[in-house]
A and B are shown apart, each in its own frame.
Chain A
Amino acid sequence: MMPPAFPSADIAQIRNELAREKSHITTMNFIVWIDREENRGWVIQRAIKISEKHPSRTIILDASPGRIGASVRPLDPNDPTRQSTFIDIGVADIPPQEACEIATSLEADVPTVLCWSAESLGEDTAFRCFFAGGNLPVAVVDSSLGVRDATTILELAQFYQEHSNVSLRDLAWMRLHLWQDIVAHFFDDPALREELFSIRMVRIVAGSDAEALYLGGWLASRLGWTAIARDQFADRNGNPVAFEHERGGQARRIYSVALTTATSIYQASVDEGDASVVRVWAEGANARDVRLVPVQAIDTASLVERAALEDTGTDEIFETALRMVQTLIDG
């Protein structure tokens, strides 16, 4: 752990240090917010992993109780290929607005990414501070971090309703890509396309609610369904579509998906013996043999990296899915 170089977080002093330690190449400003001591170790490890790969200014803003002081240093002074500057600031005793101000001392010509590692999200004063000014960072959040229920995703939906211009990346949403691809693949065959319009039930088992809700919300928004009650959709012709989701499998992971249509059941489930493989098949009139789909083990650091490197614009498909989730939960 880095020793604090300054006894307190003196913003002016930190700015001077930043000017002195200017890195050769900077691809982004990477701000990480922490609010509890027990998360600090692994959050910093992830931040270092990203900083090692991408020359950046990495700023850890640690609001854990009692965390004060600051240090500025090159990521690795002995290795010229590691060009990142690493700034660690304890912000427990300073107002959130002042902590956010650090962002204004950063390299202006590269994107700023805020990686939010606190469990509370949309209702957190500090989080909102980052989006009060003109230069909005890309916000990377994880609505299933630490919690398994739908609290954070609801907060996020509420925040997004008020800040629709923010580039928001939710890791819980990003983890779904494989599953979205698996579900979409069922209907890539034009002969099965009509099946999309006779889905009567969607059943998702996942380790946390956020992923299950996002997958259901995504499916509903793509197919033009409307949420008519808690866990109940209606398709475009007004036919009811039941939405069942339950906890099962690892946290932050989908375990299985089943789509029941008038004639068939399309299913995908993590292999019992090997969690790195998903078994995909269909039963009924459109039965298909089991196909094995490898799960690309994408760790959280890589997801954050992907979020940081992606386009900084808004994601319309994510937005509509998030809105659908909000409506679904609100009933």
Chain B
Amino acid sequence: MTQTIAGSNGVPGAAVNPLRAGVASSRITEPCNVVFFGASGDLVKRMLMPAMYNLRLEDILPANYGIIGFSRIEWKSPEFREEMRKSIDEFSRSGPAKDPLWSDFAKRLSFVPGAFDDKDCFKELKKQLEQNDKELGTGGNVLYYLSTPPSLFGKIIDMLEECGLGPKTQKRGWSRIIIEKPFGTDLDSARALQAEVSKVFDERAVYRIDHYLGKEPVQDIMALRFANVIFEPLWDRRYVESVQITAAETVGVEERGGYYDNAGALRDMIQNHVVNLLALVAMEPPVSPTADNIRDEKFKVLSALRPMDRSRIMLDTARGQYDAGSIGGKPVPGYRDEPNVNPLSNTETYAAVKLYIDNWRWAGVPFFLRSGKRLQRKNSEIAIRFKSIPHRLFGEAGDSIDNNVLVMKIQPEEGVSLRFSAKVPGPKMHIRAVSMDFNYGTGFGVVSAPAYERLIGDAMRGDATLFTRWDAVERAWEQVMPILETWQNTPDETFPNYSAGSQGPASSDRMLAADGAEWRKI
């Protein structure tokens, strides 16, 4: 007999758990396995396994879960556990792994060694998944995480389907797949990869990860815009003069020289992270905060990006490559002297692009995007520069009245600041710019969880809001392809053209100067 609870919510007892009212569980309730392809790699060690362990510590993982590592390395499960414990001890934000939770976590870790094109190895994986279903109660649900070089994505997906591990051939449960960026190396390769992915996985099961989107301040862009009434009325061409989006790093290519030399800043940062930020800043309010509605709005705004005019690409873009210099007082080598980088490389380590969004809201407002390595300071931010006041009432002849600027700080600082003009105390009407700052750390006293924890948890839950949909990826590639092709066909003879530790190349400043603008200091 189905009983009815006549509590405050009066909901049928069998349909919902009446004890859940007001007791939201952060726990993912569906059991599942997580399979990491490329499990011996750096990303798994530094980020993904510590993230899984912290999800366990926060009691966010489901009651029944298993974690399987898959990699070419000849480990057995006990070695995998040992290696993962070392990684957690070294990289977890919660400190070294501790019993009894570590033991409980470790017994759910297993490892399948093998090549990514070896059917027998995938059959072993299948056996392990079945064993987990039986012993850990994981219910046939699997989240695959492709943490391998992109060249292997297609092969792995094919093997999953061939071996009965994909959503179309598995006997029960669901399959989802997380694909690390970059999704393709250009428009054609992205489309080819998408064709392979979509043969096996429905778009709703594909989670293209861009860890930038998991950062708390990025998520707060929507809150700032759509949970406040004071900003949105000013958020258009009538009041905004320009928008600057910066993703500046002090690090060089580190151990990624081989990959980076074939990618460059435009592919590595602008096409994904920075364009995603642009979409969040410029999109219309979604009907509701669901994955589909938000991603629909992001796609619409990307669709409105004005296609690059090939004849103006050299004027509307800038590129750079770092030379030797110093960061924080320490000398650092030039890009061409980095390990695994071609000594004659023409790959850009800095890219700047001017874009326009041809829609009602943003017509005529330039969006300046830039990203670079080995710059003076690590700084990711979005700066909305408002127009000048229409008529000047105050100030002495020598006074300048600065435009209002709203800055959304993403990293390393997380917060919002607003620059506005104020009168300097005294008998005269001197006007000066002052800044009003809000910092998440001091404002809420809460340290944000790392982006990977948030994103893996979301994928396990089936929430795709913070992942990039194929149509947006394709549109972003379409936008940058003319730039990539032009740059490829016209090597920059001035490379290296900026010193490590500087603000970037002079050509980037010239690009803005043509619009009477200048970059904010990094």
Q: C-beta contact mask, B45-77 vs A, less than 8 Å → 1, else 0?
A: 000000000001111000100000000000000
B8 partner residues in chain A, CB cutoff 8 A = 316-317, 320
What distance in Å separates the Cβ of B425 from its nearest Cβ neighbour in chain A? 15
Q: C-beta contact mask, A261-275 vs B, less than 8 Å → 1, else 0?
A: 000000000010110
Question: CB < 8 Å: which of B19, B29, B57 contacts A180?
Answer: B19
Considering only residues 15-65 of chain A, those with a C-beta below 8 Å from chain B are: 25, 27, 50, 53-55
Most A CB within 10 A of own CB, among B7, B17, B29, B57:
B17
A305 within 8 A of B: yes
B164 within 8 A of A: no
Q: Main secondary structure on chain B at its contact with chain A?
A: loop
Tell whether, in the assembled complex, residue B101 and residue A194 are in contact, meaning their CB atoms are under 8 Å apart.
no
Tell whether, in the assembled complex, residue B21 and residue A309 are in contact, meaning their CB atoms are under 8 Å apart.
no
B257 within 8 A of A: no
What distance in Å separates the Cβ of B91 from its nearest Cβ neighbour in chain A? 19
Q: Considering the complex, give the chain A residue whose CB is closest to the CB of B10.
A: A224
CA distance A197 to B17 in the complex (A): 12
A294 within 8 A of B: yes
B330 within 8 A of A: no
Tell whether, in the assembled complex, residue B442 and residue A223 are in contact, meaning their CB atoms are under 8 Å apart.
no
CA distance A317 to B8 in the complex (A): 8
Question: CB < 8 Å: which of B13, B22, B59 contacts A197?
Answer: B13
Given contacts A222-B19, A309-B444, A317-B21, A188 and B29 within 8 Å (CB-CB)? yes
CA distance A309 to B445 in the complex (A): 10
What distance in Å separates the Cβ of A61 from its nearest Cβ neighbour in chain B? 23
A317 partner residues in chain B, CB cutoff 8 A = 8, 21-22
B20 partner residues in chain A, CB cutoff 8 A = 184, 188
What distance in Å separates the Cβ of B97 from its nearest Cβ neighbour in chain A? 12
A54 partner residues in chain B, CB cutoff 8 A = 442-445
Tell whether, in the assembled complex, residue A277 and residue B101 are in contact, meaning their CB atoms are under 8 Å apart.
yes
Tell whether, in the assembled complex, residue B7 and residue A293 are in contact, meaning their CB atoms are under 8 Å apart.
no
B311 partner residues in chain A, CB cutoff 8 A = none
Tell whether, in the assembled complex, residue B19 and residue A55 are in contact, meaning their CB atoms are under 8 Å apart.
no
What distance in Å separates the Cβ of A174 from its nearest Cβ neighbour in chain B? 12
CA distance A190 to B27 in the complex (A): 16
What distance in Å separates the Cβ of B329 from its nearest Cβ neighbour in chain A? 25
B328 within 8 A of A: no
A223 partner residues in chain B, CB cutoff 8 A = 5, 7, 18-19
A55 partner residues in chain B, CB cutoff 8 A = 442-443
Tell whether, in the assembled complex, residue A294 and residue B59 are in contact, meaning their CB atoms are under 8 Å apart.
yes
Tell whether, in the assembled complex, residue B6 and residue A219 are in contact, meaning their CB atoms are under 8 Å apart.
no
What distance in Å separates the Cβ of B6 from its nearest Cβ neighbour in chain A? 5
A299 within 8 A of B: no
Tell whether, in the assembled complex, residue B5 and residue A224 are in contact, meaning their CB atoms are under 8 Å apart.
yes
What distance in Å separates the Cβ of A55 from its nearest Cβ neighbour in chain B? 7
B100 within 8 A of A: yes
Question: CB < 8 Å: which of A50, A181, A187, A274 contacts B100?
Answer: A274
B438 within 8 A of A: yes
B489 within 8 A of A: no
What distance in Å separates the Cβ of A312 from its nearest Cβ neighbour in chain B? 16
CA distance A194 to B20 in the complex (A): 15
Tell whether, in the assembled complex, residue B18 and residue A315 are in contact, meaning their CB atoms are under 8 Å apart.
no
Query: Count the B residues whose beta carbon is within 8 Å of the partner chain — how many?
Result: 33
Tell whether, in the assembled complex, residue B442 and residue A193 are in contact, meaning their CB atoms are under 8 Å apart.
no
CA distance A223 to B20 in the complex (A): 11
Question: CB < 8 Å: which of B21, B25, B58, B442 contacts A181?
Answer: B25
Tell whether, in the assembled complex, residue A180 and residue B7 are in contact, meaning their CB atoms are under 8 Å apart.
no
What distance in Å separates the Cβ of A274 from its nearest Cβ neighbour in chain B? 6
CA distance A81 to B59 in the complex (A): 33
B43 within 8 A of A: no
What distance in Å separates the Cβ of B234 from its nearest Cβ neighbour in chain A? 22
B288 within 8 A of A: no
Given contacts A224-B7, A316-B8, A292 and B19 within 8 Å (CB-CB)? no
CA distance A274 to B104 in the complex (A): 14
What distance in Å separates the Cβ of B247 from its nearest Cβ neighbour in chain A? 25
Tell whether, in the assembled complex, residue B3 and residue A194 are in contact, meaning their CB atoms are under 8 Å apart.
yes
A296 within 8 A of B: yes
Considering only residues 85-130 of chain A, those with a C-beta below 8 Å from chain B are: none
Tell whether, in the assembled complex, residue A181 and residue B23 are in contact, meaning their CB atoms are under 8 Å apart.
yes
A230 within 8 A of B: no
Given contacts A54-B445, A55-B442, A224 and B21 within 8 Å (CB-CB)? no
Tell whether, in the assembled complex, residue A196 and residue B13 are in contact, meaning their CB atoms are under 8 Å apart.
yes
A184 partner residues in chain B, CB cutoff 8 A = 17, 19-20, 23, 25
B14 within 8 A of A: yes
B19 partner residues in chain A, CB cutoff 8 A = 180, 183-184, 187, 196, 219, 222-223
CA distance A25 to B416 in the complex (A): 13
Tell whether, in the assembled complex, residue A236 and residue B6 are in contact, meaning their CB atoms are under 8 Å apart.
yes
What distance in Å separates the Cβ of B106 from its nearest Cβ neighbour in chain A? 12
Tell whether, in the assembled complex, residue A27 and residue B443 are in contact, meaning their CB atoms are under 8 Å apart.
yes
A190 partner residues in chain B, CB cutoff 8 A = 14
What distance in Å separates the Cβ of B24 from its nearest Cβ neighbour in chain A? 9
A291 within 8 A of B: yes
Tell whether, in the assembled complex, residue B17 and residue A188 are in contact, meaning their CB atoms are under 8 Å apart.
yes
Considering only residues 114-165 of chain A, those with a C-beta below 8 Å from chain B are: none
CA distance A181 to B444 in the complex (A): 25
Given contacts A188-B29, A190-B14, A224-B7, A292 and B23 within 8 Å (CB-CB)? no
Considering only residues 27-45 of chain B, those with a C-beta below 8 Å from chain A are: 27, 29
Q: C-beta contact mask, A302-322 vs B, less than 8 Å → 1, else 0?
A: 000100010000011100100
Given contacts A181-B25, A294-B57, A294-B59, A53 and B6 within 8 Å (CB-CB)? no
B101 partner residues in chain A, CB cutoff 8 A = 277, 292, 294
A260 within 8 A of B: no
A273 partner residues in chain B, CB cutoff 8 A = 100
What distance in Å separates the Cβ of A211 from its nearest Cβ neighbour in chain B? 15
Q: C-beta contact mask, B434-452 vs A, less than 8 Å → 1, else 0?
A: 0000100011110000000
A197 partner residues in chain B, CB cutoff 8 A = 3, 13
CA distance A193 to B4 in the complex (A): 11
Tell whether, in the assembled complex, residue A277 and residue B100 are in contact, meaning their CB atoms are under 8 Å apart.
yes
B22 partner residues in chain A, CB cutoff 8 A = 315-317
Q: Considering the complex, give the chain A residue whose CB is closest to the CB of B1.
A: A194
Tell whether, in the assembled complex, residue B18 and residue A185 are in contact, meaning their CB atoms are under 8 Å apart.
no
Given contacts A25-B438, A193-B13, A292-B104, A236 and B23 within 8 Å (CB-CB)? no
Most B CB within 10 A of own CB, among A185, A219, A273, A277:
A185
Q: B-contacting residues of A (Cβ < 8 Å)?
A: 25, 27, 50, 53-55, 81, 83, 177, 180-181, 183-185, 187-188, 190, 193-194, 196-197, 219, 221-224, 236, 271, 273-274, 277, 291-294, 296, 305, 309, 315-317, 320
Can you identify 14 A-B contacts, CB atoms within 8 angstroms?
A54-B442, A55-B443, A181-B27, A183-B19, A185-B63, A190-B14, A223-B5, A236-B3, A277-B101, A292-B100, A294-B58, A294-B59, A316-B8, A317-B22
Q: A-contacting residues of B (Cβ < 8 Å)?
A: 1-3, 5-8, 13-14, 17-23, 25, 27, 29, 56-59, 63, 99-101, 104, 438, 442-445
6 further contact pairs, Cβ within 8 A, besides A185-B25, A194-B2, A223-B7: A193-B13, A194-B14, A274-B99, A274-B100, A291-B63, A317-B22
